[in-house]
Amino acid sequence: MKAIVIQTEQENRPLAWQDAPMPAYSADEVLVDVYATALNRADLAQRAGNYPPPPGASPILGLEMAGRITALGANVTGWQVGDRVCALITGGGYAEQVNIPAAMLMPVPDNWSFEQGAAVPEVFYTAYVNIFMEAQFQKGETVLIHGGASGVGTAAIQLVREAGGRAIVTAGSDEKIASCRQLGAELAVNYKEEDFAERVLAHTNGQGVDIILDNVGAAYLEQNVRLLKLKGRLVFIGTMSGSRAEVNIGALMGRRLRLIGSVLRPRSLAEKVEIKEKFMAHFWPLLLNGTIQPIIDSVYSIEQANEAHQRMAENKNIGKIILKVRE
């Protein structure tokens, strides 16, 4: 088969579509022909040499995909060869074929494209696990979502909206602000032009927010802590501005705040299956009827992976960037 291979011997580590070993699949897995995959920030970090795959994971980039089952492991039931599926994976999405635990599969509806299917797993699972499982969101709470126009951000806005919460976001352009408002954010702040903390405090009459979903890290820590209400929860899902910062422990104690570190890729299969099942129980019907939907920024062919990565690196995307592997 062919797959995207990182050319580590070259300075900018370009991506090349070339021959690669076929994946093996176990008795509890299926082999899938990949039709589409999607970009995540983790792909850029792994390409740069800063995010090695977990033990046992494929070294090939790609943390989600959509395609058709081409072979079934001996223990697999409930699925057939030819079924349209999508899944969160630990690696291997930028390839013609990938092996996937059957327990992680979700069906791709007949009226969806494979591009839509590939845009769902990582961002919706990330938004769901961190807002609803880690931060224990309750109806009526206010959630501040940094990077509101990102794939995770666009998913998070919709989930908070449909769960009866108030979504507030930060984003870096007027176009992104408008997109977030259209998805249901009641306040969207251009962090390049305004002090987001001051805007959020003014909007909430000085009360602040219950939950913050943060992909920025160090640079926002002081402002984030300032914005949290009594018993507020700050969930770290990225460190784009760095991973070290000082914190006022007295503020954490006095308001009984919780700082939560969270990752998705290294979690055990059992944890990921639990996330998948809980997400599907709560929100899958809303995806099927179109109430919530994956937001797709752009679609590139797999041979254009370098260009797709450049678009994400320049922070131009609103929603997911998709790589189309086959027709």
Structure tokens at 83: 């079924």
What is the CATH number that goes with domain 2-120+294-324?
3.90.180.10
φ, ψ at 5 (rounded to 5°):
-120, 135
φ, ψ at 151 (rounded to 5°):
-60, -50
What is the CATH number that goes with domain 123-261?
3.40.50.720
* CA 63 – CA 65 distance, rounded (Å): 7
Domain regions of the chain by residue span: 2-120+294-324, 123-261
Pairing of strands 64-72, 84-88: antiparallel
The one-letter amino acid at 160:
V
With residues binned 3-state (H G I as helix, E B as strand, rest as coil), the percentages for the chain, rounded to 5, are: 35, 25, 40
pLDDT at 91: 98
pLDDT at 279: 98
Count CB-CB contacts under 10 A for residue 324. 19
Judge if pTM exceeds 0.95.
Answer: yes
Pairing of strands 166-171, 142-145: parallel
C-beta separation of 321 from 305 below 8 A: no
pLDDT at 82: 98
Q: Which residue's structure tokens are 């390049």?
A: 192
pLDDT at 108: 98
Q: Which residue's structure tokens are 């984003």?
A: 171
SS3 label, residue 283 = helix
Q: Which DSSP symbol is given to 95? A: B
Structure tokens at 175: 């176009």
Structure tokens at 62: 């790609």
The per-residue DSSP string of 50-88 comes to: SSPPPTTS-SSS-SEEEEEEEEE-TT--S--TT-EEEEE
pLDDT at 320: 98
pLDDT at 217: 93
* CA 136 – CA 201 distance, rounded (Å): 22
Give me the average pLDDT of each 10-residue run along the chain (327 residues): 96 96 97 98 96 95 98 98 98 98 98 98 98 98 98 98 98 98 98 96 98 96 97 96 93 97 97 98 98 98 98 97 97
